[in-house]
Chain A
Amino acid sequence: MSGHESTYVPKTGVEKWLDTRLPIVRFGADYMSLPTPKNLNYWYTFGAILTVCLMIQIITGIFLAMNYVPTTAGAFASVERIMRDVNGGWLLRYVHANGASMFFIAVYVHMLRGLYYGSYKAPREMIWILGCVIFFLMIATAFLGYVLPWGQMSYWGAEVITNLVGAIPLIGEPILIWLRGGPAIDNATLNRFFSLHYLLPFVIFGVVVLHLWALHTSGQNNPVGILIPKDREKKDMIPFHPYYTVKDGFALLLFMTMFAVFVFFMPNALGHADNYIPANPLQTPAHIVPEWYMLPFYAILRAVPDKFGGVLAMFGAIGVLFVLPWLDTSKVRSMRYRPTMRIFYIAFVINGLILGWCGGQLPDAPVIGNFSTFNLIDGDLNSFLWLTRFATLYYFAFFFVLLPFVGLKETPLRIPLSISEPVLRGPDAMSGAVPAQAEKKG
């Protein structure tokens, strides 16, 4: 991967022999010695955490697939067999199931970090877009995986989600039948979902390689959000290894501790109890909810009274992320120096949590207490239906109104000239001395 000049010097005879034939050690060494801004905080450790999450899912997944039977007759029983009879099977299954939740916790933190520090802005648009591709593939993979145990939630989740495709005018119905391999969700559907659930993680892995390649080409962003000038590189950058390998490792340890608490003490806290009931095509559970990590998008789907409109809104909510770099008009990367936008950002995070909360509630249920206010169009104002609609409105307004217009209007704070400045001097200090220092050094 390009981005910086090679500093690798082969020492042993074997290394020298190999380096002139296949410079794979050089590749690895250059990769690990990438010059990285020295002011990265703990929000920047989630990339490494996500890499480990992906590896955990792939490895536990491969071993689970050795005992899982992808047929409607055998699926549920085979998962119970993994729990009871396969050596340590309960551990593999709970790690894989909770691993998906951990993966999404980490990816949401990772994305919100990028949003706050402007990591999607030039020259890092490709990193962001590839990340969006990964996010979309993650949702697809997680959905396919959830279908495999063939419990009630598996079956009816598959029913509802594949029906989204059927909402497309004209071509929806043929695509729906093609996707299911028949008129209804059945063995053919489960069988192909297994195949695709196995395939997609490797596609994700491939896109992760591109994501890192883009990162190493355009360079790591940092909390100050400034590009580090060439002559400051020696002062403001440190090699990734050992400084950030150790920092990421420590953060990973803390994250894995939380992961372990879930796996060993409350493995079913994040799942839905109804998925311990075998799939029944003749009975829908009273209250279908997706996994927690899809609730905000599910809420957006339900906010729109029209079937196809809801589908468009839901995919639009993910699609808007792809064009985010072109919606933000501000020249300032980090929201640390954007006092107005920072408030709207915090509101955006809270709004996302509210959307998730709404997604788990019945639309007609009252939000506050048990009283009704007045009927607005098709529902009471004091209902999750209307709270969801307001939250959905803010979600889209953030991208289409706030980011483009606040960027033009707001007055940013003074931005430091180097990432050393806020540490070495107060924010009001003269910046004239900083280039002089670099001059002296260089």
Chain B
Amino acid sequence: MAESVVTNEAHHGAPGGPEGEATRRDFIHIAASAAAVGAGVMVAWPLINSMNPAADTLALATIDFDVSKVMEGQQVVITWQGKPVFVRHRTAAEIQRVIADNNASDLKEPQTDQERTKVGHEPFLVVVGSCTHLGCIPTFGTGDFGGWFCPCHGSHYDASGRIRKGPAPLNLVVPPYEFTTDTSVRIG
């Protein structure tokens, strides 16, 4: 180690200029280091990128589902992109309650119920069924707000899937979806 330091110092005083001034040899050091960093990034990126979702995983983007199978007051859990999706056919009382709560002060992520459903299909609520805290699946009916309750760390959601109490920071996520017919939804 000590030897190489001495050699470096000797090189700095090498032909090209007086002590302390940039020399052509300094440029070689910079160019070589830059090339090494560039090469390192070029080698690392394909390795890192190989861990991003593969083509066949991305291909599982959309699914179709017939909502007429879901009776009023019932909830069906379907799998979309490996995640559970709740399709809930809400009762009139539930809808009334969540609309009344549209401006409630305890909403952490204020959203109206209308923003979370499709016009003309208000009874149907489609949300990704994983708690926005750490991903557990909430159960319906046991919470304080007539919606879901997450058993892992005690988050309460209302029947619109909005977070009302507990550690979860956000409302249950509404996935991108549309009604392709009166009874069929395409999620994704």
Q: Which of B21-29, B49-57, B117-125 contacts A (4 or more CB under 8 A)?
A: B49-57
Q: Does A336 belong to the interface (CB within 8 Å)?
A: no
Q: Given A192-B51, A286-B151, decide whether A184 and B136 contact each other with a Cβ distance below 8 A.
A: no
Q: Given A181-B57, A185-B82, A282-B77, decide whether A163 and B52 contact each other with a Cβ distance below 8 A.
A: no
- Decide: A163 and B51 in contact? CB cutoff 8 A: no
- Decide: A307 and B136 in contact? CB cutoff 8 A: no
**CB proximity to B under 8 Å, residues A256-315:** 281-284, 286-288, 302, 305-307, 310
Expressed in whole angstroms, the minimum distance between the Cβ of B112 and any Cβ of chain A is: 24
Tell me the bound Cα distance from A284 to B79 in angstroms.
14
- Measured CB to CB, the nearest residue on chain A to B57 is A182
Contacts of A186 in B (CB 8 A): 57, 82
Q: Does A188 belong to the interface (CB within 8 Å)?
A: yes
Tell me the bound Cα distance from A163 to B130 in angstroms.
11
B106-150 interface code vs A (CB 8 A; 1 in, 0 out): 000000000000000000000000100111110000000000000
Tell me the bound Cα distance from A186 to B80 in angstroms.
12
Q: Does B17 belong to the interface (CB within 8 Å)?
A: no
Q: Is the interface of A mostly helix, strand, loop or mixed?
A: loop
Tell me the bound Cα distance from A184 to B154 in angstroms.
22
Contacts of A302 in B (CB 8 A): 153
Tell me the bound Cα distance from A159 to B133 in angstroms.
11
Q: Is the interface of B mostly helix, strand, loop or mixed?
A: loop
- Decide: B137 and A184 in contact? CB cutoff 8 A: no
- Decide: B136 and A156 in contact? CB cutoff 8 A: yes
- Decide: B137 and A284 in contact? CB cutoff 8 A: yes
A154-181 interface code vs B (CB 8 A; 1 in, 0 out): 0010011001100000000000011101
Q: Does B83 belong to the interface (CB within 8 Å)?
A: yes
**CB proximity to A under 8 Å, residues B65-113:** 77, 79, 81-84
Q: Does B31 belong to the interface (CB within 8 Å)?
A: no
Tell me the bound Cα distance from A36 to B53 in angstroms.
53
Q: Does B13 belong to the interface (CB within 8 Å)?
A: no
Most chain A C-beta atoms within 10 Å of own C-beta, residue among B48, B52, B77: B52
Q: Does A364 belong to the interface (CB within 8 Å)?
A: yes
- Decide: B167 and A281 in contact? CB cutoff 8 A: no
Contacts of B135 in A (CB 8 A): 159-160, 163
**CB proximity to A under 8 Å, residues B39-60:** 48, 51-54, 57
- Measured CB to CB, the nearest residue on chain B to A287 is B151
Expressed in whole angstroms, the minimum distance between the Cβ of B165 and any Cβ of chain A is: 9
Contacts of B169 in A (CB 8 A): 306-307
Q: Does A206 belong to the interface (CB within 8 Å)?
A: no
Contacts of A339 in B (CB 8 A): none
- Measured CB to CB, the nearest residue on chain A to B83 is A184
Q: Does B35 belong to the interface (CB within 8 Å)?
A: no
Contacts of A179 in B (CB 8 A): 51
Q: Does B152 belong to the interface (CB within 8 Å)?
A: yes
**CB proximity to B under 8 Å, residues A168-226:** 177-179, 181-186, 188, 192
Tell me the bound Cα distance from A367 to B82 in angstroms.
38
- Decide: A160 and B136 in contact? CB cutoff 8 A: yes
Q: Does A151 belong to the interface (CB within 8 Å)?
A: no
Tell me the bound Cα distance from A178 to B47 in angstroms.
12
- Decide: A307 and B151 in contact? CB cutoff 8 A: no
- Decide: B136 and A181 in contact? CB cutoff 8 A: no
Contacts of B81 in A (CB 8 A): 182-184
Expressed in whole angstroms, the minimum distance between the Cβ of B157 and any Cβ of chain A is: 14
Contacts of A37 in B (CB 8 A): none
Which of B48, B79, B134 is within 8 Å of A159, CB to CB?
A: B134
A-B pairs, top 3 by smallest CB distance, nearest first, are: A184-B82, A183-B81, A284-B136
Q: Can you list 24 A-B pairs with a CB-CB distance of less than 8 A?
A: A156-B136, A159-B130, A159-B134, A160-B136, A163-B133, A163-B134, A177-B52, A178-B52, A181-B51, A181-B52, A181-B54, A182-B53, A183-B53, A183-B57, A183-B81, A188-B54, A281-B79, A281-B84, A282-B77, A282-B84, A284-B152, A288-B152, A363-B153, A363-B154
Interface positions of A (Cβ within 8 A of B): 156, 159-160, 163-164, 177-179, 181-186, 188, 192, 281-284, 286-288, 302, 305-307, 310, 363-364
Given contacts A163-B133, A288-B136, 7 further A-B contacts (CB under 8 A): A163-B135, A164-B134, A178-B51, A183-B81, A188-B57, A307-B168, A363-B153
